[in-house]
Amino acid sequence: MAAHAHSSAAQPAILSEVKPTPFPRATLVENNRSFGWVTDKICGIIEGKTPTWWWVCFILACFVASFTVAGITYLVATGVGVWGHANPVNWAWDIVNFVFWIGIGHAGTLISAILCLLRQKWRTSINRAAEAMTIFAVVCAGIFPVFHVGRVWFAWYLFPIPNSNEIWQNYRSPLEWDVFAVSTYGTVSVLFWYVGLIPDLAVLRDRFFKAGNKVRSFLYGIFAMGWRGSNRHWSNYEMAYLILAGVSTPLVLSVHTIVSFDFAVSLLPGWHTTIFPPYFVAGAIFSGFGMVLTLMLPLRAIYGLQDLITQYHIDCMCKIVLATGTIVGYAYGMEFFIAWYGANPNEGFAFINRAFGHYAWAYWIMISCNVITPQFFWFKKVRENTAFVWILSIFVNVGMWFERFVIIVTSLARDFLPSSWGYYSPSIVEIFTFFGTFGVFSVLFLLFIRFLPVMPMAEIKAVMPQADPHGHAPTGHGDSALAHSTKH
Amino acid sequence: MAAKPYGLIATFETTPDVYHAAEKVRDAGYKNWDCITPFPIHGLDGAMGVKRSNVPKFSLCGGLLGFTTGMSLIYWTSAVNYPLVVGGKPYFSPLYAFPVSYELTILFTAFATIGGMFFLNRLPMHYHPVLKSDKIVSGMDDKFHIVIESSDPKFNLAHTKALLEQAGGKDIQELEA
C-alpha cells in the first residue's frame, strides 16, 4: 500500500520532466519568402501580360462551351424529348451531371469552411481557387435541372413567387428542398468568396493606382468597398469570416444530404437507402478534391507557385482523397451488405444487377476509379510524383461521374415491373450539353485566374512565421512555423 | 493645406513592432486611432483594446429571421393561402418544413453577417484620408502603420508625434484630411 502511494506520488514528478518531442510541422510558405514576395507573386499574375497559353486555352474553352449553348438552344427550340430519356429512365444524364458538378463544388466549401474551423492553416493557399471552383461548378450544375424542367421559361415556378395559377410549391418534395439548398449554396458560396476577396481587391486597387492604371484601379476599387486594412475592420471581418465558415459547414453537409434525399426519399430499390446522405457527402468531397488537384497542379506548374502550394499541400489533399475514397468504397460494400441483409428481393436484385447486369461496365469503371485509384495515395512516392497525382485525380473525376450514373440509371432501368424495363443511352444533344459544361467551367476559371488573385494574399501572410507578433524574426529556418502554430 | 491634419501616420517594419507600439498607444489613453495592417494580426485586438466584435448579434438576428421566414412561408402557402391535401397528410407540419427553413436560416445568417460586418465597419467608404496617403500601397503589402486621429481628445501634434517615435514608428507624416 505504501509502495503504491509512493509510486503514484512519484509519477507526476517524472512526467513533469518529460519534454514532448516537438511535432514537426511543415512550412506553409517555402524558401522563407517575405510578405512583399507574396504580394508581388500573386499580383504579378494579374498585372503581367496575358500569356499566349491563356488565349489558346480561353479560345479552346469558348469553343467547348459553345457545345452547351448549341445543345441547350436545340433543346429549348425543340423540347426536352431531344434528350435520351424515356420510360422508365426519366432521370439520366441531366441529374447525373447535376449531382456530379454539385459534388465537385463541395471541396471548395470544405477547404474554405470546414478546414477554417479546424484551423488547418494549409488551406490558405488553395482556398480561393477552390471556392472559385465551387461557384463555377454550381453554375454548371444549375444548367441541368433548370433545362430538364422542359419549358425553361417556367423555371421560376420553382420559387415561391405568386403566379397566375395561384398555387404554391409542394414543400414536402425533396426536389423543392433541393431548389432552396442549391440556391442557398450558390449564394452563400459567392458571398463567402467575395468577403475573402475584399482585402486582396484593395491591394490590386492600390497597385494599379500606383502604376497609373486608373480604370482597373477604379474597377477593383468599387468591389474593394474602400477597404483600408484597418485593424478595427479586421476585427469585425475576422468574426464575420468565422461565422460564414460556421454556417457554410452545416450548409455544405446539408446540400449533398438533400441532393441524396432526391433519391433516398423515393421508394425505388437502389435509391431507397439510409446510407445515402453520408455516402453522398463523402463522395462529393472525394470528387471535389480530385478536381482541386486537377486544377491546382497545372496552375502551380505554370505560374511557379511551388513555394505557396508545397509538397505538404499536395500530401494533405492526396490524403483527403484517400480517406474519402475509402469511405466511398466502404459505402459500396455496405450497400451490398444491406441489400442482402435487408432480405428484400427487389433490393437484392437491384444491386446484383448493378454489378453484373447490362450496366456492369459502368459499375466496374466506378469501382476501379473510386476504390482502387485512391489507394495509390498510401505511398509517399506516388504523392510526390505530381504528374501521376494529376492523372489519378482525373480518374477520380471520371469515377465519381460514373458513380452517379450507376446509382441513377441502373436503378431506374430495372425497376419493379420487368415489362417496363429499358436500357438508356444518351442522345447526341445530351453528350454535347455535358461536354460543353467543361468549357463553361474552364472559361469561368480562366477569367478568374486572369483577373482575380488566385490565392488569398492576406490569409497567406497571416500564416507566415513573420506574422507572429510575439517575435519570430525571419531566421531562415522553416521550423519557426512550428513555434507559431503551437503557440495559438 | 493649412487645414488641421486628419492625423498622424507612423510606419512599422515588423509585426512585433506594430504590436508593441499598439500597446503603448492604447496605454497612453488614445481612443480615435487605428492600425493599418495588410493581414489580421493575431492578438492585435487585445493590444489595441478593441472589444469583441458585434457581428455575431447581426448573425443571430439573421438566423432567427431566416428560420421564421421559412416556417411562416410554408405555413402560409400550404395551410392558409391555398390549402391543398398532398398525400392525405396534414396541411402543415414543422417536419417537412424543416429543410427549407434550415437553408433559409443559413442564407439569412450569411447576409446578416456580411451586412453587419459592412455596417459596423462603415463600408463602403471609398474616400478616406488613409487611402489618399502614399503609404497605403505598402500598408496593403508588407508594412504596418498606426494612425492617430486629430479628433482624439488627447491628440497634440508634438506629443503624439513623440509618442509614435518613442514607440518605434518610422517616417511619421501628417495625413491630409
Q: Does A225 sit within 8 Å of B123, measured CB to CB?
A: yes
Q: What are the phi and psi torsion angles at A152 (to 5°)?
A: -65, -25
So what's the ipTM on this one? 0.93
Among the candidates B100, B121, B142, a domain finishes at: B121
> Mind giving me the DSSP string for A194-226?
HHHHHHHHHHHHHHHHHTT-HHHHHHHHHHHTT
Neighbours of A387 (CB within 10 A): 9
pLDDT digits (tens, 9 = 90+) for A162-179: 888 888 999 999 999 999
Give the largest Cα separation in chain A, rounded: 92
Q: Are residues B75 and B117 in the same domain?
A: yes
pLDDT over 80 (residue B16): yes
Q: What are the phi and psi torsion angles at A251 (to 5°)?
A: -65, -50
CA atoms within 13 A on the CB side of A457: 28
Domain residue limits at B111: 55-121
Q: Are residues B14 and B59 in the same domain?
A: no
Q: Is position B117 within any domain?
A: yes
- Strand order of the sheet with strand B33-36? B33-36, B144-149, B7-12, B170-175
Q: Which residue, A265, A156, A99, A180, is CA-closest to B98?
A: A180
Considering only CB atoms, B55 lies closest to which of A176, A227, A236, namely: A236
Q: Are residues B61 and B102 in the same domain?
A: yes
Cβ-contact A399, A373 below 8 angstroms: yes
| β partners of residue B9 | B147, B173
Calculate what percentage of chain A has a pLDDT beyond 70. 92
Q: Are residues B41 and B76 in the same domain?
A: no
pLDDT digits (tens, 9 = 90+) for A247-299: 999 999 999 899 999 999 988 888 888 889 998 889 988 998 999 999 999 99
Q: Does A469 sit within 8 Å of B18, measured CB to CB?
A: yes
Q: Is position B133 within any domain?
A: yes
Q: Are residues B70 and B105 in the same domain?
A: yes
Chain A to chain B Cβ contacts (< 8 Å): 216
pLDDT score recorded for residue A33:
85
pLDDT score recorded for residue A481:
40
What residues of chain B, 19 to 38, have a C-beta less than 8 Å from chain A?
Answer: 19, 22, 34-38
Q: Are residues B69 and B117 in the same domain?
A: yes
Neighbours of A52 (CB within 10 A): 8
- Chain B: closest CA distance from residue A148 (Å): 22
Mean pLDDT in chain B? 90
> Mind giving me the DSSP string for A279-314?
HHHHHHHHHHHHHHHHHHHHHHHHHT-TTTS-HHHH
Q: Is position B2 within any domain?
A: no
Q: Are residues B34 and B69 in the same domain?
A: no
Q: Are residues B108 and B75 in the same domain?
A: yes
Distance CA A112, CA B53 (A): 21
Contact of B88 with chain A, judged by CB distance below 8 Å, is answered with no
What residues of chain B, 106 to 165, have a C-beta less than 8 Å from chain A?
Answer: 106-107, 109-111, 113-114, 116-118, 120-121, 123-128, 130-131, 136-137, 139-142
Using the Cα atoms of residue A130, residue A132, residue A135 and residue A138 in order, give the sign of their dihedral. negative
pLDDT score recorded for residue A11:
55
Contacts of residue A237 in chain B, CB cutoff 8 Å? 40, 117, 121
Q: Is position B1 within any domain?
A: no
Q: Give the relative orientation of helices A35-47 and A174-210 as an angle to the nearest 10 degrees.
A: 100
pLDDT over 50 (residue B1): no
Q: Does A236 sit within 8 Å of B38, measured CB to CB?
A: no
B19: nearest CA partner in chain A: A469
Q: Are residues B23 and B65 in the same domain?
A: no
Chain position carrying cell 441483409: A341
Distance CA A371, CA A328 (A): 7
Would you kindly state where each structural domain of chain A is located, as residue ranges?
A: 40-162+266-459
Distance CA B70, CA B107 (A): 11
Q: Does A34 sit within 8 Å of B142, measured CB to CB?
A: yes
Domain count, chain B: 2
pLDDT digits (tens, 9 = 90+) for A119-165: 888 888 888 999 999 999 999 999 999 999 888 998 899 999 988 88
pLDDT score recorded for residue A478:
40
Cβ-contact B50, B153 below 8 angstroms: no
Distance CA A161, CA B124 (A): 31
Q: Is position B157 within any domain?
A: yes
pLDDT score recorded for residue A12:
56
Q: Does A467 sit within 8 Å of B15, measured CB to CB?
A: yes
Q: Are residues B60 and B97 in the same domain?
A: yes
Q: Which residue, A485, A483, A438, A412, is CA-closest to A63?
A: A438
**Conformation bin of residue A173: beta by default, left when phi > 0, alpha when psi is -120 to 50:** beta
Distance CA A252, CA A280 (A): 11
Q: Are residues B62 and B109 in the same domain?
A: yes
B125: nearest CA partner in chain A: A226
Contacts of residue A248 in chain B, CB cutoff 8 Å? 106, 110
Do you know the residue count of chain B?
Answer: 177
Q: Does B40 sit within 8 Å of A167, measured CB to CB?
A: no
Which grid cell sits at A432?
Answer: 454535347
Chain position carrying cell 522553416: A478
Return per-residue pLDDT of chain A as tens, 488 residues.
444 444 444 555 566 666 767 776 777 787 778 888 889 989 999 998 999 999 999 999 999 999 999 999 999 999 888 998 888 888 888 899 999 999 888 888 888 888 888 888 888 888 899 999 999 999 999 999 999 988 899 889 999 998 888 889 999 999 999 999 999 999 999 999 999 999 999 999 999 998 888 999 999 999 999 999 899 999 999 999 999 999 999 999 999 899 999 999 988 888 888 889 998 889 988 998 999 999 999 999 988 888 888 888 899 999 999 999 999 999 999 988 998 998 988 889 989 999 998 899 999 999 999 999 999 999 999 999 999 999 999 999 999 999 999 999 998 998 888 888 888 889 999 999 999 999 999 999 999 999 999 999 998 898 888 888 886 544 433 443 433 443 33
Calculate what percentage of chain B has a pLDDT beyond 90. 45
Q: Are residues B22 and B60 in the same domain?
A: no
Q: Which residue, B145, B175, B150, B157, is CA-closest to B38?
A: B145
| β partners of residue A89 | A86
pLDDT score recorded for residue B5:
85
Distance CA A282, CA A233 (A): 36
Q: Does A250 sit within 8 Å of B78, measured CB to CB?
A: no
A153 by DSSP, 3-state: which?
helix
Q: Is position B159 within any domain?
A: yes
